[in-house]
Structures are given as C-alpha cells and as structure tokens.
Structure 1
Amino acid sequence: MTHTAPWTRDDVAASLPADTARAWFDEALAEAAAAARTPPTAPSPYLAHSWELRFAAAGRHCGHDHADAVRTLLLAEARAGAETLTRLYQHGSAAERRAVLRALPVLVDGPHAVHLVEDALRSNDTRLIAAAVGPYAAAHLDPHAWRHAVLKCLFTGVPVDAVANLAQRAAGDGELARMLTDFAAERSAAGRDVPDDLRRVLTLTGEEPKEL
C-alpha cells in the first residue's frame, strides 16, 4: 500500500483523555497487529478476531470524538482486507461504517469495495455520505455514480468540500453540468433556494451559473 492513514498512532494517543484510554488503545493496536501476522489458517480464532471486538468498543473506551481515528488505525494495523471490511460494515453501527469508509483508501487497492461506498450513498446519514465521498470514491466511482454522489451531497446538505478531488473530476464534465442545472431548476420551480455549493460545482465544470 502506498497510502497512509489520516491519523498517526502518536497523534491519537496524545489526544486521548485518560491513561486508561491510552492503555486500551495500545492493547487494541497490539491485538490488531498480532492478527495481521497470523496466517488465515492458524487455529486461533480469538487472536484473529479480538481486535474486531475492540473496533466495535472504541467509542466506549476512547470517547466518541476519537473513535473514528482509533477504528481507522485498528483497521490499518490489522491489514483488514475487503472481506473483513465488508463484514464490519454490514454488521456495524453508523459510526463503525464511517470508519470502514475512511479506511478504504488505506487498505483497498482497486474497486473491490465500491459496493460499500454505493451503500453509504443510498443512506440519508450525512456523516456517512461525507465519509463515502472521500479519496476512495474519487479514485474508483465511475462517472455516472460519482455525479450522483455529488448530487446526493447537494440534496442532503453535505458540504462539497467533503468530495475528494472535486475540481479535477468536475472539470469539463458537461453531463454533471446538465444534472446540476436541472437540479437547480427543480429547486427554483419549487420555490426553494439554490445552494451556493451547486453554483460552485457548476463553475468547476466550466459552465457559468447564470440565473440560478
């Protein structure tokens, strides 16, 4: 992997509110690292999965403000593959799903986890949507799905700053410009304001946001 996690171990440890949380964090990372060193056929299911219990319990032990960072580092330390990430996502809470989505660019090379991004984009959880449109989506969503992801952000009020590589992908995208213009017209016809973010993205496509 050439990618790096958005948080470092030292930064997260320094931010934790108590010695007990830091001790728990160190133990959790050690279990995740041990699982990464264990061959898949090793007869030690507890060793292979104890870190997943830590993954679920991160908010309780480290505080909900730090849970995303702790969970992402656990996934990276365990070198979780697409199958494990999918299982954790499918059975996890919204907070656990966000951590999986944020770990994708660190752990998955290629489009093998796009289905997780697509699932998140079908939700109406704005924090989940914001996590879904990060670097992994920028690299692997096809143009049609990516355009709809941008529209989903505008529809749900997720700031387009959350969309990774927005300027690069929007540049010269005439179909995205058409979709944005249609969306703006629908809002205007319904007597609703057109978001400033829509005008911003439309400008990035190369189209002038006239009379929106």
Structure 2
Amino acid sequence: MVSTTSPLAFAERRSPGKVGKRVVAYTNAFKLTWDVGKVKIHHYDEAISPLFDPKSGGSGESAFTIGSRKGMEIITRLQTESRPDLFHPRVAFDGKKNIWSTHRLNFVNGGDSEEFHLPLNRMDPDNPRPNPRMVSVRVVFVAIVDPRVLEPLVAGAVKRIEPDGEIATTINMLNVFVRVSPISSWPHNARAFFA
C-alpha cells in the first residue's frame, strides 16, 4: 500500500550480475494489457449520506458511518437494480469512496455529478417496508486517468512516487480493477483476494 504521508523512494538500480547472487522467484501473477491509446479510465468520487435522522453519538455529531461491506452492497444495488442503464458496463468501486469506469457516465443534463436515492437496506419484495430509511449516493467526476503515466515506472526511470500523484492514483486504479470481483463477493475479508 502506498503511504499517504511521504513519497515512496526507490533504491538506485545497479547493473545486473555485479553484486549478490541470483535468486529464482515464482509468483502468482498475470500480464495486464490494453490499448492505452483507446482506453480512458474515468475516476469518480462517491459519498453516501443518510436521508434520515441518524442517532447522535452523545457529542452532537452524526454517528452515521458506512462500512465497506454496506457501501459495496449499496453501489452494487445502484448499478444492478436502480440505474443499470447508466452503469453499463459496470464500474469498479474500492469500497471506500473511489469509483473507476472505462466509460464516461452520462449524468443528467450532461453534468459532472448526479445524486441517487436508495434504501439503506435491501428491500424484501415479499415483505416491503412502508417507509424505508433512505440514503443519498452522490457520484462526482474527478478526472480522466491515463495509464501511460506508468510507462516510466515500468521502465525504471521513476525515483519517487508522490502519494497524491498520478502514478499512485493509477496504481490504485489498477489494484481496484484487479480486485473488483473478490471484494464484491467478500468485502469483509481482507485476505479473500489471496485465498
């Protein structure tokens, strides 16, 4: 995981074969390829907030928080039940606040954001509640991510990665796309991706 407080610095590479000994390592990895000239990744920020009066936690501040499991459930329902027309193909959600899409989302009036209202909990069609607690899901366009910013990193030409920089954002985006299926199925288990 990339630190959010200080840049990640790399040790200078020496010429191969000059120091140390050769070690063979086996990894469970795969090659990721795409036509970077054609693919544009759209980054969106997401915020879930209550449309009901959450109970206060004694300090007068709102005690409403959404865990990653509930956030994944709400975003999945938004994509598959509420607005499958907008979220097709489906987007990748990191379980916190970032949404990544291979296409530009066509929001109302061609804007950069849209707000959606959904029940906090999945509705039982056999036993509907008359007044379910509702939440607002606000999705806001942030930027287009260009995967080509990783080319110098892969070539070994990058000495530092700034935590808020384009390279860190692009690495995070790739991580989310690789993990989207496992974290959708097992969002509560941090090791599920490696099981």
- Specify if TM > 0.5: no
Whichever structure has more helix as a proportion of its residues is 1
Bigger relative contact order, structure 1 or 2 (CA pairs below 8 A, ≥6 apart) = 2
Normalising by structure 2, report the TM-score.
Answer: 0.21
- TM-score normalised by the chain length of structure 1: 0.20
